[in-house]
Chains A and B, each alone.
Chain A
Amino acid sequence: MDSIAWIEKITNAVIALMGGGPTAAIAIGSVLIITPIVIWILYRQAKKMYHDYKVSTARKVEDEKRKSDFTEVVKDNQGKSSQILSDQQKLEDKVKETKEARKKLRASKKKNMCKDCK
């Protein structure tokens, strides 16, 4: 109630300053009605502009990230692919070495067993 009384007092004071009368009252009334509408419209516009800005920034970030994500995937694949070829070859080399060593060991055992065969 205090705030309404204050608004009333201020309005009456302004009307008096403007020389009183219905014209002043209509002018004041129009300002009081139109101002919040204008503020509301400006607020909505600002909100939309901010949203558009954020959306545009998000799309730019997406594009940048997509570029770097794709590049990283390709680099990683190329790096790992060469490692894979090399490691698989190393394994097969070790398998061959191991089998040959075992053959030699078996042959040597057989030879030792048959030392006195002849």
Chain B
Amino acid sequence: MNFEHSEKGKETRQQVGAILKSYDNGLRVDKSSSEEFRPRLIKLQKSLAEKGFFNLSSQAQERSSDESETLQAIDFEIANFSASLFMSLKVSQLLVGLVARCKTELHKPLLDELCTGSLVGAIAHHGSSELSSSTPLILKKEGTAWLLNGTMPFVSNGLFADWIAVKATADDRIGFCLLSSDASGLVVGPKLQTLGLQEIGLCSLFFQNVAVPDHQFIMAADPAQLDGWLTNSLDLAVATASVGVMKRSFEAAQKHAASHAINGKPISRHQEISFKLAEMLALLQTAELLCCRAGWLVDTGHSEADVLVRCARVFCAENGERVASEALQVMAGWGVLSGREGERGYRDAKTLALTGTTTEKARIEIADAMLKSH
């Protein structure tokens, strides 16, 4: 067991930190429009690709423990900077990973281009039915062509993606349609205005007789395993982003408490405030460790990995809300001002809590696993 970050991990964090510093601060990134956000995302992707970091998540095989730790270090650094930038980056990386896992020789040029970081990816894998959150669309054969029709709501990066993987079934085979954003019949809906993570280009995608050549319908050898990888990756991303929100919220509250005085005494010296900060720090450290451990279990192929990822997803997201709310409380009037760290963290925390596997579903999955094993 080892609770220390490796020298490589620390060095990587510093390198990524330096890249992010060139961005302005996270607050300004999160107030950017989609037109401003997309180039920032690509700039980050390319910078990471130049250092060999971007394609780490694209590896279909297991990563070495060094590489896993490097990836975690990068993730935490970016999540701490901006939840929107981080989630957009992860979705883009997930497309790279998806193509890597399903690719044939035909897809190698696309994969190579994706790995340069110059393209933005999106994955549409929620169905339009209100009853099911993961119903794939159905490809129908018309003559020699497959045609895709339907709607996929809530697609992150959908607004500005270059390539989109759309979950679909074709003759009972489950896979993904690889579509470029200019595919005929693909209509990108307007930006969905959300409570938090406002910059991730969330929109609905409408498919009207979109032609999908055979080679652009990609499948993994084991679709269930691919689904599991996608779900775990997204849940871990949500957990990591939540830890980032917690860290920023805590730091903002701590800074405010140290500098804001009442009767000449910083409010951090009042137990009502200092004890809140202490609880926040305890939750933050617990969440970060749980997130790291869940990621490690996934990377080592541990039998309990899925359960731990759900645990991390629930714990980090729910306590992200808790910490963000307490931070707001500490910052009082200053906290609720628009555009400040307090209210941004609060909005992002709630939005993250609703992203990926819902906490309700996650709890059911955790319990089912426990009941099965006992």
A and B co-occur in one complex: no
B interface residues (Cβ-Cβ under 8 A, vs A): none
- A-side residues, CB < 8 A to B, are none
